[in-house]
Structures are given as structure tokens and as C-alpha cells.
Amino acid sequence: MHVLDAHELYRFFHIGDDETAALRGVSLHVSAGEIVAVTGPSGSGKSTLLACLTGLDEPDGGHVEVAGMRLTRRSQASRARLRAAHFGILVQSGNLFPHLTVEDNVRFQMLLAGKLAGKLDEKRVASLLDSVGLGARARAFPTELSGGETARAGLAAALACDPPILVADEPTAEVDRDTESGLIVHFEARREAGLATLLATHSRALAQRADRVVRLKDGRVDNG
């Protein structure tokens, strides 16, 4: 069963009289219990694609469906409800609330989903932070983290509620090999649990563990 479908997505950006085609008819799908890696050089459209897939941006053409429901060209409130119900999202910046500690950012995501209750959830908070190498930084604020630590804390927050679909932009950037291996274990555990994971990545190790790889080039799926 496809939990996420994108049909012929187009996205154009304009600066003055210049037009840039970030996406040129991209189609893809993700099924439950599947890891899909989106690869391609910088500027190929990976981040734009993820933004359109999660309703953070609207494509200029084509549409997206999540769990069989139309996401594209809905009100912002409707997109936000679908996003909260179906996605955990890691973008390249702005994943954390700056006035909350790392562990409180993770707890807050659980609270939003109604899953923060009792000792078991506290163990999950600690386990998530340990898995991304941030156990010792649990009480730090985002402004006190390095770039790599910030990305890993954002990933822990995105994973907090076991979302049906995890969409992550470069989740293993700026991490060492051991930490990357630990994150891959997380993604594979999601697969075993029947949850979907879509990752934009430059990591060869991560792409090799995916069920499928979608390669983008100049805003198109590269089938070559």
C-alpha cells in the first residue's frame, strides 16, 4: 500500500525575470514498511521535493496524496492537520524550538501527539537522544549546539512519535560513521515496524540500505 504518492510535480522559482525549474514532472511513491532514498547533486531538487511532499510548499503543477488523501491545494490548516497526523519531518534548519532544551523538544513532540505519559516515554526520550549521540547534551538549548548536533536533535524530535512517514533531509550529514550506523538501525527498525521512511541523502551507506533509490538530476528523476 502506498502511504505517499506524488504525481508529476513541478515547482518554479522566479527572481526578477529569471525562472528556475526546481522540479520538472517528478513522480514517486513510498509504501508502508519501505525506506526510499532520494539522491542527486546539490541543486537537483531534493529539498524542494521534500517540501512539496509534506505540504510545507505547494507545487506549481501535479499533486501529492498521503494515505489516500489529497494534500496539495488544500488550506494551510488542512495541510497542517494532515502533516501532524502522518509525518515526522527533518528539514535543514528550524526543526527545534529555541526556548526548549533538547530533551524538552523531544517531549513536546510526544505531547502534541498525546504520547507523553509516564516512565516509559521518558526512557524513549533518553533512548532517542542516545541513539543520535546526544545523551550528554539532553539539557542543552539549541543555541548551545553545533550544526551537526542541531541536526541530530531535530531528527530525534522527528522520530519521537514513531510517525507513519518520516521525511528527512540529509539526516546523517555532519555525523561520524558510528552515529550514522546507529541512525541506520533506527530507520531499519521503522521498516520492520511497517513504517515508511523517505530520506534525501548524499550518504552512500544510507542509500545502500534503502529499498529503493530515486535519483534526481536537474529537477527530474534520472532513469539513466
CB atoms within 10 A of CB 47: 18
In whole angstroms, what is the distance from residue 39 CA to residue 53 CA?
15
Sheet strands (E) in 44-188: 61-66, 69-70, 87-90, 165-169
pTM: 0.88
Residue type, 177: R
Q: C-alpha cell of 185?
A: 538501525
**Cell numbers that stand for 6 in this block:** 506524488
Contact at 8 Å (CB) between 143 and 105? no
CA angle, corner 59, sides to 200 and 212, nearest 5? 30
Q: What gap in Å lies between CA 171 and CA 95, rounded to an integer?
A: 12
Cross-strand pairs, 199: 37, 168
Closest CA to 34 of 165, 160, 216: 165
Tell me the three state secondary structure of residue 197. Answer: strand
Which candidate, 170, 125, 177, 139, places its Cα nearest to that of 152?
170
Taking the mean position of all CA atoms in its chain, how far away is CA 52?
A: 12
C-alpha cell of 112?
A: 502534541
Cα dihedral sign for 121, 100, 154, 67?
Answer: positive
**pLDDT tens digits, residue range 180-191?**
888 888 899 999
Q: Mean pLDDT highest for which of 46-55, 78-87, 88-97, 160-169? A: 46-55
Q: Which CATH superfamily is domain 2-221 in?
A: P-loop containing nucleotide triphosphate hydrolases (3.40.50.300)
Asked whether 166 and 196 are in contact (CB, 8 A), the reply is yes
Q: What is the pLDDT of residues 78-116, one digit of tens each?
A: 999 899 889 999 887 788 999 999 999 998 888 876 654
Whether 171 contacts 151, CB under 8 Å: yes
| Mean pLDDT, residues 125-129 taken together | 89
pLDDT for the residue 120:
47
Mean local confidence (pLDDT), 64-77: 95
Span 197-204, average pLDDT? 95
Domain locations along the chain = 2-221
Whole-number Å distance between alpha carbons of 219 and 44: 5
